[in-house]
Structures are given as C-alpha cells and as structure tokens.
Amino acid sequence: MSTILPLSLVDVAVYRRGKRLLGPVNLTLKSDGLTMIIGPNGSGKTTLLRVMHGVERLSKGSAQWSIPEAEARNHQSYVFQTPIMLRRSVADNLRYPLQLQGMARGDIEDRVAQWSARVNLKDRMSLSATRLSGGEKQRLALARALIRRPDVLFLDEPCANLDGASTRDIESILQGALTEGTRIIMTTHDLGQAKRLASDAVFMLHGCVHETGAAESLFSAPQTVELQAFFRGDIIT
C-alpha cells in the first residue's frame, strides 16, 4: 500500500495559450488499487495524469500528496505511451535508475537479474535497447520504472501500439505490481483492458472529471448519458 497517498486535487486547472486544457478538477485518489482514466480523444486524460505526477504546471488549484511534494516525487515512476530508451544496452537501462539512487553495485546486479527474467528480457541484456521490438521496449520501460519499487506508477496508454500478445504480457506485469502493493494510475482507450484491470475509474470529458466510481458499478451502470454514449461508441461533442 502506498505511503504517499492519498493525492488530493483541489480546483485544479491548466490553461495553455488562453485555452483551457483541464479543470476545474476536484479529485482524491485512495491509497491502493488501479485507477483507470478513460474518455474520448482530447478529453484531458494525459494532462490529468501529468498533473498528478507533477510535470504539468498548474494554472490554478493545488495537487497535494500526504507527504511533501519533493519527497513524494522520489516514490513515483511514469511510463510514456511511446517508451523512451537510453542509447545503451538493455542491462544498462535497468541499472540506470538504481545507480541514480546510489544503490550498491551488488544489489543493483541482483535486482537487474530479477527484473530481466520477470519481463522475459534475460536473453536481450547485451543488446542495445533501441533495437528491441515495440513490445520489448514497453516491457523494458515498465521494468525500469518498477525496479525502483515506486509507491505509485503512472502509465499513459502503455498498450496503445501493441498487439494482443504484447498487451497480455504488459497486463501480467501490472497485475504482479498490484499484488506487490504498487498503486497504479493509467490512461487507456481500450475498454476491455479497463474492465480487466481497474478497481476504480475516472471518466474525462471536455477537460473535466465527468463521472467517477468503483469500476464494477461504473462499467455496469454508468450514471450519465455522456458515459453511456461513450460506452456505446457514440461520438461525444
């Protein structure tokens, strides 16, 4: 269970060049489970994720963890939709976040060996990370994020460009992380994935939180006509 949550967003808004991208948002995230952020393109999902992680400047409002922000930042990881690979070997990509933490060399190698096996990249360790397939890169990005044992993991459409087999691999890694107590907050366009993984969900529309709740009730009995339309596959304007 996370030690830095809950996270409370109060009257959060983000404007860029005079255009409102997000807000006002009032939302509190509890300390365990997987929160899935869903909604149509342009609804503010990624902006909300970036606000939570602290990499999007707020125009108004506040985002507060249960501990000081500078300390909370050290307990988070973020994985982008298109994974960013260091131009180094797979092994060096895994070592890097642990080296930044100042971990002892022997402990680093033990953890790298553990995670390379866990994400099925053990036979790719000497290969340049840039030469991996799309699915392998995303597994490496996840391992690099989770190897630090963060309290909270943010994921922006981690399976958007992957085939079914690679998506299954990613979901298996996420299920393992959840079992070990990592709090996960992610965006997806895949409603099947949302139903498989989410413990609760946030529906974004026009930059605002339009509906939120436990996953089982939200997916089976949406309360707003907009979310009902979204689940039908209608275009929402």
| 7-82+150-232, CATH topology level | Rossmann fold (3.40.50)
Provide the residue-wise pLDDT of the chain in tens; the chain has 237 residues: 567 999 999 999 999 999 999 999 999 999 899 999 999 999 999 999 999 999 999 999 999 999 999 899 999 999 998 888 999 999 999 999 999 999 999 999 999 999 999 999 999 999 999 999 999 999 999 999 999 999 999 999 999 989 999 999 999 999 999 999 999 999 999 999 999 999 999 999 999 999 999 999 999 999 999 999 999 999 998
Tokens of 209: 């939180």
* Domain spans of the chain, in order of start: 7-82+150-232
68 CB neighbour count, 10 Å cutoff: 10
**pLDDT attached to residue 1:** 54
**pLDDT attached to residue 62:** 97
Of 183, 109, 104, 191, nearest to 149 (Cα)? 183
Only one residue has tokens 């982008």, namely 80
The set of residues, in sequence order, having a beta carbon less than 8 Å from that of 234 and lying 6+ positions away, is none
How far lies 47's CA from each of 21, 61, 128, 152, 217, in Å?
A: 7, 14, 31, 17, 25
Burial category of 164 from C-beta neighbours within 10 Å (exposed 0-12, middle 13-18, buried 19 and up): exposed
